[in-house]
Amino acid sequence: MCLFQYDDDPEPEERNPAGPLYVPVRPGTAEVVLRMFRTPLGDRTAVGFTRRDVLTATLGAEQPWIRLSEPALRALASPLGACPLTIDPVFTAPAVTPVPARTVEVGVRAL
């Protein structure tokens, strides 16, 4: 708990507009679709990046994106059950892929 309060420090719960965001999308049939993510606790979240180079560093150069304002992103994400909005996440885990089964070779020794 902080003992000192400063007038210019926003509370963490306050929603301050982040400005235009680079929002990851995935191709749909006729249009693009908002790409949803999971928080470390498993909750759905929408993600936006303040700079394109941050998006590229986090998700790769091949990730498609669109520009949206924060209120527009919130409006698109809320019907999908993603109320939290994550801005500039610095860590993403790769998609889970099955590990191929390993074969164990049994050696035979001559006596």
Tell me the per-residue pLDDT of 20-52, one tens digit each, with 9 for 90 and over.
999 999 887 778 888 988 888 888 899 999 999
Main-chain phi, psi angles of 86, to 5 degrees: -105, 125
For 67, the token pair is 């520009």
∠ CA 68-61-57, nearest 5°, is 80
Q: What is this structure's pTM? A: 0.65
98 pLDDT higher than 70: no
For 3, the token pair is 């003992």
63 pLDDT higher than 70: yes
Query: Cα Rg for the chain, rounded, in angstroms?
Result: 21
What average pLDDT does this structure show over 81-108? 69
